[in-house]
Structures are given as structure tokens and as C-alpha cells.
Copies of this chain bind each other. A is one copy, B any other.
Amino acid sequence: MLNKRKVVLVVNSRKLKILAAVVDEYIRTGEPVGSKAISELYNINVSAATIRNDMAALEQLGYLEQPHTSAGRIPTFAGYRLYIDELMNPSALSDEEKQRLDRMLGDKDTPEELLIQNAAAALTEITQCAAVVTNSAPRFSVISKVEVIPTGKRLYVILLITSNGSIKNKACRLEFDLDNEQLEFFTRYIEENLSGVSVDELSEEMFDKMVAAVSAYMVSLSPLVMGLCELSEDLRQQELTVSGSEKLLSCSELDKMEVVKFIEHKNGLSDLLEDTFSGIQVKFGSENNFAIGNSSLIVSKYRKGGKEAGSLGIIGPMRVDYKKIIPYIEYLTQQISCLMSGNDDDIIITDTTDGIIPKS
């Protein structure tokens, strides 16, 4: 073991100040930060040599690392983590900034779907990173209408509409054509059994029971129930939209291959966003099994009427300006929560599925 060195391995306030300075400076320039730069640019009133000693300690403590001997330091994951959780002081949004965001977001008449799209667009523009939004509203809504529409020989389209305005459809093929009476029976049956039911409550078992019930009347109706089951599954899973992902391609610190793969498949993202948490959350790509290596995911949940209704955030390089971006995201989620909860009555968003049925 070389590199054994007499440094005081105690974090004190100066060391923290230095760590913060290193992270700030690294975020600003993207270059490894040396002791001299810190002593000159940040008013920690000690000499470069002292800072060097502290930096050596911070390195041994696992907060900083050197790309190579005799280069400056860059933050480690732990360094970023400490910085984000404890050290940085977020820059409060100015009134102009808030107004700008409000304008970009929309007002209480803006449909929910558009609201979160606007938020994503705003984030993309301001941060120059990819924005990501999820909407789990459909999951917490109730079925407001079910329709079965004959569209061809033995061919029916089922339509499922929820209270929050999602519309899903799916084509189903039956073995036989239904006559009016049969169709009416089925429509009435599902209307009675599904109308007003919360999407979250729908389960496969429930549909299994319906298949049984309906089959008693007419066996060949079951594909319709199965179709409904699949639609309800679509509703249950949260929608995830990533916008501005091309911005990630111009981040030199991200691997282009990984970014492109991410753009195509969005690997691992929805898992990361399904966790429940409160406040803002910062996750690093390399620490979760997320497609892009040195990336950072900053997200916050918005709420509707007290309930989590989705999340909103950005994906960028680890080296993003956290102290600026975090307040932006916080403000946006807060405003969205506010706008959404304000008027709960009759928002309509169309929102649809793709589905495919086998030919035979």
C-alpha cells in the first residue's frame, strides 16, 4: 500500500466547503479541478497547499477522485450525492423565471396531458437535457364508458373510456357474428360490471370471472372480455414520455451508443420511475441498471388531489447544474399539482393504445 498518507480523515466544515467548490467548479467547467483554481476562485481563505491536503483527505474519504496522478480532482458518486443532499445551496427562482415557467406551462384550462407535455418542453428548453414525464392518471381513474362496435364480419372494436379521459381501443375477432340481442346482452353486462370501477382495481381474476359468466351465455364472447382485459392492462401501466432526448447526444460525457440505445428502447427507465418517493430524487445511471452510464436522473412527483399522479424530471449528464435545475423541477411539479387539483371535474385527454389481434 503506497499512498498511505498522514491526512486527518475528519470531515470538517472547510473540507465540505472545498468539496462543494470542487463540484461547483467541475460542473461549471467540466475539467478536473485543481487546488489553485479553488483557492483563487472561491473565497476559502487558505492557501492552495492547505486545500491540497484537504482534497487528499476528501479523496481518501471517497468523495473525490483523480483521473490520473497530477490531474485535478473530480467528484465521485458519493461526492455528488453529498453535494446534492447537503452542500449545494439551490438558487431560488426569480420572479421573472417563475413567470416564464408559468407562461410555458399553461393555465387552469390547459388539459392535463398538455400541462405535463408543456412542462417537459419547458424543461428541455431550459436545461438542454432530455425531459421525462410519466402520467399514471389513467390508473387512478374509473371506467366511464365501454362500447362494443361491430366493424366487419365477426369483427368488433371495443372502446374503453375512463373518467380522466383516456380512450383505448382494440379490435377483436369472434368465432361467430353476434346478433343484436347478443350484442346488447354483452354490452349491458360489461357496462354493469365495469362502469364506475377504478382502473387500479381491475385484475385478471376479475376478467376471468367475467369470461366465465359471459361464456355461460355464449362461449364465443370470451375474446371480447380478453380484449377488455388487455386494454385495462394498458391503462394500468403508466405512460412514459421522453422529450428532447436528442439533447443527450451532444453531451460529451455520455456514451453515444448508450444514448441511442436508450432513445430506441427507454431501457430501465419506467422501473426507476415507478418507485414511490416524496420530494425530489436524484439517481445516477451507473448506480441503477439504467441504460446510460454517466447519467443523472432528477425527478419529482406531481400530485392530483393529494394523490401521486405522475412524475416529471430530466435526464442529463451527472455534471448538470443541480442547484439551478432542482428548483425548476420543484417549481414545475408544485405548479402542476396545483393546477391539476384545482379543477378536477371534467378534464378530457384522449389517449389511446395500439393493439393487434391475431388474424385467425
Taking beta carbons and an 8 Å cutoff, which residues of A are in contact with B? 108-111, 113-114, 144-145, 147, 149, 151-153, 155, 157, 159, 161, 165, 167, 169-171, 173, 243-246, 249-250, 256-257, 260-261, 263-264, 343, 346-360
CB distance from A353 to the nearest CB of B (A): 6
Given contacts A350-B170, A352-B353, A359-B111, contact A144 B149 (CB under 8 A): no
The answer to whether B246 and A348 have CB atoms under 8 Å apart is no
The answer to whether A257 and B264 have CB atoms under 8 Å apart is no
Given contacts A257-B250, A264-B249, A348-B155, contact A356 B114 (CB under 8 A): yes
The answer to whether A167 and B157 have CB atoms under 8 Å apart is yes
Which B residues are CB-close (under 8 A) to A169? Answer: 159, 167, 169, 350, 352
Kindly state the separation between the CA atoms of A273 and B360 in the bound complex, as whole angstroms: 32
A and B contact pairs by CB, cutoff 8 A, 29 listed: A110-B359, A111-B358, A144-B151, A145-B151, A147-B149, A157-B159, A157-B350, A159-B169, A165-B171, A167-B169, A169-B169, A169-B350, A169-B352, A243-B264, A245-B264, A246-B261, A249-B256, A249-B260, A250-B260, A256-B256, A260-B263, A263-B263, A343-B359, A348-B356, A348-B357, A350-B353, A350-B356, A350-B357, A352-B352
Which B residues are CB-close (under 8 A) to A249? Answer: 256-257, 260, 263-264
